[in-house]
Amino acid sequence: MSDPKPKQKRKRINVRRPDVMEKVQAEVQRHYESSIVEKIRSNDGSITVGNTTIKLAQQFGFCYGVERAIDLAYASRKVFEENNIYLIGEIIHNQEVNRQLQDMNIVSLPWKEMDETYDRLGEDDVVIVPAFGAPTSYIDKIESQGAAIIDTTCGDVMKVWRRVRGYAKQGYTSIIHGKAGHEETRATASRALGDAKDGHYIVILTLDDTDFLCSYLTGQTTAEALMERFGHATSDGFDPKKHLQKVGVANQTTMLKSETEEIQRRVHTAIKERDGSSDNFQFFDTICGATQERQDALFDMLKGHMDVLLVVGGYNSSNTSHLVEIGQEELPTFFIQNSDRLTSLEEILHFDLEEKCEVTTEHTNLLDLSKPVTVGITAGASCPNNLIESTIKRVFELRGVDSADI
């Protein structure tokens, strides 16, 4: 019996047709926009009612890449009204946005590993690649099944992919600053293997990780110790003795820029100490521009007075987590998924980055309604304005202000 005929690969589909996008933009605006947020933006990012002031960062919320991903997902449903549409994991790290897509009957596929669902994909199916991208093995599988692909991968992420592919082509191993289990980092790591699949990578997250790696580069730590610590975050067949001779630093685009720069500096110093030159070291600034804008805007915001800072967004959002880290250094900062977490003036339900779970914290700065209070609000690049608006309303409500007065 002859082998079955292989399925024909489907071409990428362009759903950004003018007639479609006009409808999409109206729907997206209805779901996620906020007149209150725009009013505060136009008032230099501040509003005071009675003795309660709310300040918004100059840059927060949806970035272009996120807006584009959402637009493409909405457009996919309009173009393929009768087809099964699937999404690898989540389109972005925001519960509200992903819920809207579920309501549109866009079904989430497993993203940590492929299961039999991928085997059942066919030529009538459509698969959306999220803003983080996806590993090459996932793309290859979907294409081999003949399903149509709508690729919403952020342009800044693809810039990193080009960089790590270049490292592999030149025989450099990628040192990726990121979270090894994050969707974007996994997608980037797959590209770090290069087109010939003979490249290598190692993922590090913290400055402590960096120092450990540098101690190996300078001969103070054994290869065995290095692999014991990072073996779960390296390419298959990774051999420190061979694959750390020439290195290039890249990063998950949503990391803290100052930390990535410090990692670059420390690795560079270690390579120069080992080799006497910089010939075996490369780096490239691959932090997302929107991520940096939101970090810079928060640093500017922190120069002024605030009694408390609320950071709104998905708990699995890397760029949002870094805003929390920045705020925590200066004042009481609470990472909330939405306004429902503001249970009262006495208690705030928020995500603790250290405990990695929601905790309830008593907070007294907002209690005395007779005293003026200033609340700062910012949000990560995956948080829609309607969630910012509901947070603003909730703060004013708890301070005795009617939303009609905002």
Q: What are residue 234's DSSP bridge partners?
A: 202
Who contacts 191 (Cβ-Cβ below 8 Å, separation ≥6)?
136, 160, 161, 164, 165
Take residue 58 and report the two structure tokens written for it: 């100059």
| Selection from 399, 386, 394, 397 nearest residue 62 by Cα | 386
Give dist(CA 69, CA 92) in Å, integer.
Answer: 8
Give dist(CA 7, CA 3) in Å, integer.
Answer: 12
Burial 331-343 (b: 16+ CB within 10 A, else e): ebbbbbbbbebbe
Residue whose token pair is 């897509």? 101
DSSP code for 12: P
Classify strands 333-336 and 247-251 as parallel, antiparallel or unpaired: unpaired
CB 137 within 8 A of CB 113: no
Q: Could you confirm whether 90 is annotated as catalytic?
A: no
DSSP code for 148: E
Q: How far, in Å, are 157, 172, 249, 274, 342 from residue 281 at the CA level? A: 22, 8, 8, 11, 48
Active-site hit among 90, 143, 183, 184 = 184
| Residues annotated catalytic, as ranges | 184
